Amino acid sequence: MSAINNTQTTDSKASKKVLLAAPRGYCAGVDRAVIAVEKALDHYGAPVYVRKQIVHNQFVVETLERRGAVFVEEVDEIPEGAVTIFSAHGVSPAVVQEAQSRNLHTIDATCPLVTKVHKEVQRFDREGYDILLIGHDGHEEVEGTAGEAPHAVQLIDGDEDIENVKIKDPEKVIWLSQTTLSVDETMDTVNKLRKKLPTLQNPPSDDICYATQNRQVAIKKIGAQSDLVIVVGSDNSSNTVRLVEVALDAGAKAAYRVEDERDVKDEWFEGVSTVGVSSGASVPEILVNRVLRDLAERGFNDVETVTTAEEDIQFSLPKELRKDLKASIEKKAAEQAAAKAN
């Protein structure tokens, strides 16, 4: 559990109220990745190996572990030939090659919006650009993206990295970003880069994904009206941590990240009449509901959903899994037809 506190809150004179951000929780990429593990367990049986956490949420990981998923840090921990899923955050070509050398049956659950950034790196590397990747050092998505062209990518994770940037041709330098960053913070970094590199080019389209942006817009709206904001999500979830920061920047008097209702503290509620609630893009709704029940027990029964966008995006399952599921269905159909013929 992490916390950031701007100031002490005001008098509690209004009725206790919850502002529930919408959209919140699972995005299309997370939903696809989690379903991919579930379908793989159903189809292939346990164990199914997953490189890194499939998504950055401890509850989701533990739930899948109970079903037979085995999470590992690197592919060299996986038995040769085993069914292996790459997480939603993506992998570098080096990881793909290592998996091939071990004859692993791989399923790539990389979010399509992360894959889009990978393809941008490939393209601009081919065209001879220096690529400035704005992101957090050590994050799996950044490692996978930078791994597409390590000779061309420079990671920008703070002012020191900006100072140390070196480029070959000022006419051929472009910035790209991790998909889960704060929009405002990213643009602040871009503005700093542009002071040093006036010819810095923008990416062809937004790299920060729709879900990250939508959740930040929603929490800005509720943060401005809240004495306290609670964001549900794990501490290794970049987009969750950013939501806490965005809520404070929007005017929330205090904002905290919690894994679930057990992290909610009594002392947060002194003088609080309005609580904002949201969750990161890898958080199942069951955890939000638990927090809402905890708030109800504290007298916060009036829940208003604050909707700033409607989301209806869905991604198809990874192509490797679709192929195997289709083959299985066709095999069963053929067997049933043969049985009827006999």
Is the Cα dihedral 38, 40, 41, 46 positive or negative? negative
**3-state SS class at 94:** helix
Q: Are 80 and 103 in contact (CB under 8 A)?
A: yes
CB atoms within 10 A of CB 231: 31
CB atoms within 10 A of CB 45: 10
What is the bridge-based pairing of β-strands 83-86 and 153-156? unpaired
Q: Helices 183-196 and 238-250: crossing angle, nearest 10°?
A: 90
Helices and strands (H, E) in the chain, number of each type: 11, 13
- Distance, in Å, from the CA atom of 186 to the CA atom of 134, rounded to the nearest integer, reads 7
Q: Which of 141, 143, 148, 261 is catalytic?
A: 141
Is the Cα dihedral 119, 121, 122, 123 positive or negative? positive
Token pair for 99: 């998996």
Token pair for 241: 């941590």
CB atoms within 10 A of CB 290: 17
- Distance, in Å, from the CA atom of 261 to the CA atom of 25, rounded to the nearest integer, reads 15
HEC states along 108-130?
ECCCHHHHHHHHHHHHHHHCCCE
- Distance, in Å, from the CA atom of 322 to the CA atom of 342, rounded to the nearest integer, reads 30
- Distance, in Å, from the CA atom of 125 to the CA atom of 40, rounded to the nearest integer, reads 34
Mark whether 311 is an active-site residue: no
HSE on the CB side for 46, CA within 13 Å?
A: 9
Nearest to residue 277, comparing CAs of 51, 34, 24, 28? 24
Residues with a known catalytic role = 141
